[in-house]
Amino acid sequence: MSALYLTEQGAVLRRVGERLVVTKDHQVLEDVPIIHVDQVVVMGNIQLTTPVVTLLLQRDVDVVYLSSRGKFRGRLMTTGSKFAQLRHQQLRLMNDEKAVLAIARELVVAKLENQAHLLERLGAQGSAREIRGDGNKARQAATVEVLRGHEGAAGARYFTALRRLIPGEWGFTKRIYHPPTDPVNALLSLGYTLLLKDATAAVQLVGLDPFMGFFHAMDYGRPSLTLDVMEPFRPLVDGLVLGWIAEGKVSPGDFQSARKKDGAVLLNDDARTRYFGTYEQQMEKRALYPPTGERTSFRRCLELQARQLAQVLLEKRGRFEAFRMGT
């Protein structure tokens, strides 16, 4: 998938024939043939004209809206009514505690195995063993509530291990979700937001309801299933962030204070553009998707995981198998 990121505040996206043209103050910033674009990411105060919206809908181009700080707002989409049977099965399965636990457990165990795999690559063998031990406990969890407890304990252990791998001048002491108050948390949060928009695209492409999940509790406005699907892929973002820091592609000077009242920080415009490029490169890297034996991009692996889940719901497949890295 080729994503077009729109970040210049006050810019306008227009249709010129079969091309997407970004302008500001009568100056052309980008000019791209629509056949080269599968997704448009709109950040902040950027306008889309009616003709270009019509074209994007006709061509099934995913349009994602983020705030200027990278918070997910929503997306432009056509009707999803053709997936009524699948969504009925999804809702039905929500009442089957055994089935819900099996799917949730598989997602969490895969996530912990992927975290351990990343830590092993980074030389943190002891922490990796501990995370694998947490995975074994999660595999035996008798309820989703117990499973969440094991996942939470493993998460605290995991980010403690990451803290030891990050130089002290970055000020990273623990995972802070909202708002991010140090550069590392800002990088993680932005990366997870980008992963969220890709996971949501995969879930909606397959026809699943993104708000009816198995591991994450349902709540108003929470895309529980999207969060479920993306869990095993989170270490991809973690690896990207640690790689950026280790390779000197980003420095604490690339961040600025967003709000004084809560200490939030975010990337400056130039570094953020480079981050988007690095994220896209990461998601286009090829990996083995074990359930099918297919070697394809990480972004495609997200879709394959959502499709596999749909097959389980429709009883066309007996068991859900989540994505594992390094297999």
pLDDT tens digits along 88-109: 999 999 889 999 999 999 999 9
Q: What is the pLDDT of residue 290?
A: 83
DSSP code of 213? -
Return the structure tokens found at 116: 């351990």
Q: What is the pLDDT of residue 327?
A: 60
pLDDT at 1 over 50: no
Q: What is the pLDDT of residue 49?
A: 96
- Which among 92, 90, 93, 104 has a CA at the least distance from the CA of 146? 104
Question: Which residues touch 292 (CB under 8 Å, ≥6 apart)?
Answer: 304
- Kindly state the average pLDDT of the residues 60-77: 79
Read off the pLDDT of residues 234-273 as tens digits, 9 standing for 90 and up.
Answer: 999 999 999 999 999 999 899 888 666 667 888 888 999 9
**Residue ranges of domains in the chain, CATH in brackets:** 3-76 (3.100.10.20), 82-313 (1.20.120.920)
- Kindly state the average pLDDT of the residues 33-46: 88
- Kindly state the average pLDDT of the residues 46-57: 94
Mean model confidence pLDDT for the chain: 90
pLDDT band at 77; cut points 50, 70, 90:
confident
pLDDT at 199 over 90: yes
- Which residue has tokens 């990461």? 282
Return the structure tokens found at 165: 């791998």
Would you say 320 and 106 are in contact if contact means Cβ atoms under 8 Å apart? yes
- Kindly state the average pLDDT of the residues 144-164: 95
For residue 210, say if its preceding peptide bond is cis, omega within 30 degrees of 0. Answer: no
